[in-house]
Amino acid sequence: MRAISPDRLTSYQHAAAQRGCDVLELYVWDRDLAAAAVADIAILEVAMRNALSHALAQLAAREDWYATDLGLDNRSTAAITRAWKDLPAAQRTPGRVVAQLMFGFWRNLLEAGGDIGEDPRKVRADYERLWRAQVKNAFPGGRPQACERGAQFTHTWTLAVIKDVHDLRNRAAHHEPLVNGFPLPGEQRRLSAAEGHQACLQLARLLDRDPATWLEANSHMSRQLPRDPALRRPHRASRMPLRPARPADTHFITSPHGQRTHPSTPPASADTRERRHDASTGRTPHSLPRTILRSCRDADEPACRRLHQAPTECLTR
């Protein structure tokens, strides 16, 4: 267990004890769940940045919107500058610059907006204006989704969905446990991995029907969540020892009707006898008594081993 630090292992040990499953099995499942979350969010992140980049390009009336003054705050401007500098001069195309911008940049576009410039000419950015002007168009499914949940389609409501997805992404990307959910920075609550998955599906629906339909059918998280070791734990009853079989040399009693039963088996009722196979008429029984089936299994006789193919031999010998 040297590969896992004691502090890290403790959280899994507590979770395994509560769930009643093996700690290492839970650890491996948590790793697979985190990988599934990163895979799903990779699809969402690309779809979201392309949608927001298109909206900003519409606002600026040019593809390289990042080279114009859209009223972005210092934090957003600094992120654009870093992305620009990280690319070789020959590769500073709109597509490559947009791809260099991190998830946090796009999330910040739905915040209230920070400062622009420095003192004494510092002013406050107005991201609500950006939202109304064009950014809201990046989420064509937003209004029906908000209406369905009894909410108003605003940038703050949309931001809440994006934040949940972003926090899940950061948690999974930094290999932090998901078995007990993940905290939301600045809030006194946690979301379960299943709730994080629902946030991913909701963000997909905000963006468009196509990514939503694709993710619902191909989500890695939806395949991993049911594999929780606690959900696959065997029922207690299955751990009970089986009743020992009777010895093979058990003696049987043959009744006047040709039925061979164990000595401890009570006499069969008339109704039961009617349901059994009648060798003289060739009727097939609706069901065979358990005692006879069990006795035939225990007797090492060729005819009994062919019980399902030739029940007549077993019952009339």
Confidence class for position 31, pLDDT limits 50, 70, 90: very high
Structure tokens at 157: 């409501």
146 touches 153 (CB < 8 A): yes
Is the pTM higher than 0.85? The answer reads: no
Amino acid at 80: I
pLDDT tens digits along 112-171 = 999 999 999 999 999 999 999 999 999 999 999 999 999 999 999 999 999 999 999 999
Percent of the chain scoring above 90 in pLDDT: 66
pLDDT of residue 1: 60
Nearest partner of 101 among 86, 91, 123, judged by Cα: 86
pLDDT tens digits along 51-69 = 999 999 999 999 999 999 9
Confidence class for position 50, pLDDT limits 50, 70, 90: very high
pLDDT of residue 257: 54
C-alpha–C-alpha distance, residues 239 and 37, integer Å: 34
